[in-house]
Structure 1
Amino acid sequence: MLQDRLYYQEPYLTSFTTVVTQHAVDEQGRPFAVLENTAFYPTGGGQPHDTGFIADIAVVDVEEVDGEIRHYLETPLVTGGTISAEIDWDRRFDHMQQHTGQHVLTAAFVELFDYPTISFHLGREIVTIDLATEQVSSDELRAAEKLANAIILENRPIEQKWVTQDELSAYSLRKQISVDEEIRLVIIPDFDTNGCGGTHPSSTGQIGSLKVLSTEKQKKNTRIHFVCGGRVLHQLGTIHDELSDVARLLSAPLSQAADATQKLLDAQHTLEKQLEAAKEQLLDIEAASLAERKTIVIRQTYKDRSMQELQKLARKTLALREQAIVLLVSDDAEKLQFVASRTNSLTPDMRTVSSIALPAIEGKGGGSAASVQGGGARTMSAEDLSELLERSIPVHV
């Protein structure tokens, strides 16, 4: 029976002696052992499996398969009979803290706002619950976190009971039970009663503390990211170290890191505006130089110029001429790009130019009769492409 398993009878048990009833290899070639009884918790109900050692061989996974608990081992177990085993207590207790913290936080959202939890995930660093609501406000998050920590600090006992289907009516359940036999309830008196097959500490105080970290949208639900117990300290240490590094880079006290960052962002924004203005002035100078050429067709090649810059330079140049065709090509390490534009006083259809040039560079592009642009592979030099563009102008100018 489930309730006879050691991890339910004695959730604080870290080492035990038992008998090996089977050792074999599964369909994927993974060696495993089945024990007469076990303190190793198998993956289930949102809680990850325990790890540890059986006869000094590392247990890397624990799963329940067809009613038997398989302990998957790093190397095959070659002996049977009575063996000693030990679970990784730090991992187990962390899972107990996180899983029980989920019970408390879920119950807090139900009690305060009637937001039920529809799913739960206990990850290696972060725990999440998905609430059946499209939005949770900052005030609601703070209120639920405050209530959860109050229940933790009250150090309420956590009761674990096995009941029958007929006995369920005596309990106020948070959600419907999905099994008919060997029903296990986890009860925090006057706060939460829930069917659960996980491992839990004997009191809420052992959760330590709970901290909500962030939220995200999940279709029509809201995912809450949080941590409990030792993970709160780990998160605090990590964040403190990161902020300390930021403060050091800013040459500011940690308490003034936010203000110093804002000043840096403001300065960066000012510099970006100044840089953009300077780039515009340079483009104006370049356009004036191009426009001074005595030819109708103005060709120029560049290295590493963006399409936006080519288009802007072509427009600025044409604005300074009554009649001109501007052919600009840029070459970078990966591709060729070009712009071919004319003044409205001329009639050549520049789409003809791109229809000839684009196949030559295996490229794509588009535009209008007055201006086209495109890009493609470096199948030729920038100068060769520039010459091809000029030769492709349909009407001699």
Structure 2
Amino acid sequence: MTDKLYEEDAYLREFEAEVTGCVPAEGGWLVTLDRTAFYPEGGGQPADTGTLGGARVLDVHEKEGEILHTTDAPLPVGERAAGAIDWEARFSRMQQHTGEHIVSGIIHRLFGLDNVGFHMGRDAVTIDLNGELTADDLARVERLANEAVWENLPVGAEYPAPEALASLDYRSKKELTGRVRIVTVPGSDVCACCGTHVRRTGEIGVIKLLTSQRYKGGVRVWLLCGDRALTDYNEKNAQAYAVSGMLSAKVGELAGAVERMQAENDALKLRAARLQEELFRYRAREVEEGATYALLFEDAMEPPALRRFCLALCERCGVAAVLSGSEREGWKYAAGSAHSDVRPLGRELNAAFSGRGGGSPELVQGTLSGSREEIENFFRSRV
């Protein structure tokens, strides 16, 4: 059994321990110690990293009370090794974890919902609740959570005696046996937890609920605390002011400015589509009335435009086809007819030029590979 120093003092950054085991394993070596300050992955909290002796600690797990340190180099068994955790990462996780306790505890107290899932991810912390909350509910929770931070309350962790534990009302995701570690934030939360936490709520700095969505009959909430909340704010603030400059609008008026820009863009798209339709009808006059087929190669034309141009051409000839692309990158095509079913033609095109696509009797669309000359010869011989 490894002595878990992180449970006694989550602020312990450096320590010494005896190496009790070292065996090769996938990705490095598994090292065991008589005691450790490295927190093992568990309860939604990632493992600590750092250094141990002359090795780098890459991962930490617990198995049957033994803490297994994955290192990038072996350590001599029986010798003492100095360990140092990556403190910046550890403290940030302490902020996130304690903030999560406060939020989950308040939600449980106000709405009777349980936190059934907790994950400290790369982008944010998520908590999964077994019921739904409104935006107003979450705003209220966020306000109360930050008030708990501003009060700078003590955060306690202890192993109550069995008799005391039996009468204690605490949160837990599962039935627990043996010694149970209880973490308490006065007025906010009492919860069974093995993680690391700050000593006082003021060290969290700030708790920000980012967003939420329905999830498995309940709701998933994304949040950030402390240093990660500040980083997130700085990034979004920089983006907001950059967009503000582009739109010549105040930061608080960006949503309205974007709505106006979208409306203007939609109007321009509609006008451009109408002008394009007129252009296609005008260009279609270049095709001889009653021609057997018309084959045109166009520059940088997207599938919707290919379709519209092809349909305009169909009014002048038996079969029309429009292609855009290049011999090196491949072709996008649209082929149609106002007089005959073009689906057999589409299948022949796909077979002859490693194509993909399909459509209706009046129009087929897809992609082709081949030279322009080969495609021209195909239409001359088959249409």
What's the TM-score once normalised by structure 1's chain length? 0.84
How far does residue 196 in structure 1 lie from its aligned partner after superposition? 0.7
Post-superposition CA distance 1:144-202 (Å, at most 9, x none): 11111122222222221213544322211223653211111112234321111111122
| 1:50 aligned residue | 48
Quick check: 1:32–1:77 contact (8 Å CA) kept in 2?
no
Amino acid at match of 2:312: K
- State yes or no: 1:36 paired with 2:29: no
Quick check: 2:184–2:190 contact (8 Å CA) kept in 1?
yes
Decide which moves more: 206-215 or 305-314.
Answer: 305-314
1:131 to 129, 132, 137: 129
| 1:361 aligned residue | 353
Measure the CA separation in 2 of the matches of 1:326 and 1:202.
Answer: 79
Shift of the 377–5 alpha-carbon distance from structure 1 to 2, 3 Å rule, reads same
| 2:366 aligned residue | 375
Shift of the 182–339 alpha-carbon distance from structure 1 to 2, 3 Å rule, reads same
- State yes or no: 1:276 paired with 2:273: yes
Measure the CA separation in 2 of the matches of 1:140 and 1:368.
Answer: 51
| 1:313 aligned residue | 309
2:295 to 287, 300, 305: 300
How far does residue 337 in structure 1 lie from its aligned partner after superposition? 2.0
Shift of the 391–351 alpha-carbon distance from structure 1 to 2, 3 Å rule, reads farther
In the TM superposition, 1:185-204 aligns within 5 A as 185-204=182-201
Amino acid at match of 1:308: P
What percentage of residue pairs aligned between the two structures are identical? 30
Quick check: 2:314–2:320 contact (8 Å CA) kept in 1?
no
How far does residue 98 in structure 1 lie from its aligned partner after superposition? 0.7
Shift of the 6–284 alpha-carbon distance from structure 1 to 2, 3 Å rule, reads same
Moved over 6 A (4+): none
Shift of the 340–256 alpha-carbon distance from structure 1 to 2, 3 Å rule, reads closer
| 2:83 aligned residue | 85
Amino acid at match of 2:42: G
In the TM superposition, 1:169-318 aligns within 5 A as 169-175=166-172, 177-252=174-249, 254-290=251-287, 293-303=288-298, 304-318=300-314
Post-superposition CA distance 1:234-280 (Å, at most 9, x none): 11111122223223334555455455444443433333232222212
Total equivalences in the alignment: 379
Amino acid at match of 1:325: G
Amino acid at match of 1:228: C
- Runs of 5+ in structure 2 lacking a partner? none
Amino acid at match of 2:183: V
How far does residue 296 in structure 1 lie from its aligned partner after superposition? 3.8
Measure the CA separation in 1 of the matches of 2:154 and 2:239.
Answer: 37
Quick check: 2:335–2:342 contact (8 Å CA) kept in 1?
no
What secondary structure, in the 3-state scheme, does the structure 1 residue paired with 2:242 have? helix
How far does residue 387 in structure 1 lie from its aligned partner after superposition? 5.3
How far does residue 113 in structure 1 lie from its aligned partner after superposition? 2.2
Amino acid at match of 2:14: S
Superposed CA RMSD in Å reads 2.8
What's the TM-score once normalised by structure 2's chain length? 0.87
| 1:7 aligned residue | 6
Amino acid at match of 2:141: A
Quick check: 1:117–1:129 contact (8 Å CA) kept in 2?
yes
Decide which moves more: 249-258 or 174-183.
Answer: 249-258
How far does residue 353 in structure 1 lie from its aligned partner after superposition? 3.7
What secondary structure, in the 3-state scheme, does the structure 1 residue paired with 2:234 have? helix
1:145 to 142, 147, 154: 142
Quick check: 1:328–1:340 contact (8 Å CA) kept in 2?
yes
Structure with greater Cα Rg: 1
How far does residue 141 in structure 1 lie from its aligned partner after superposition? 1.5
How far does residue 391 in structure 1 lie from its aligned partner after superposition? 4.5
- State yes or no: 1:337 paired with 2:333: yes
What secondary structure, in the 3-state scheme, does the structure 1 residue paired with 2:83 have? strand
Shift of the 392–354 alpha-carbon distance from structure 1 to 2, 3 Å rule, reads farther
Post-superposition CA distance 1:347-391 (Å, at most 9, x none): x5544544544422343554555x24243432453x654554464
How far does residue 317 in structure 1 lie from its aligned partner after superposition? 4.1
Post-superposition CA distance 1:119-146 (Å, at most 9, x none): 000123411111123x432211201111
Decide which moves more: 236-245 or 308-317.
Answer: 308-317
- Runs of 5+ in structure 1 lacking a partner? none
What secondary structure, in the 3-state scheme, does the structure 2 residue paired with 1:140 have? helix
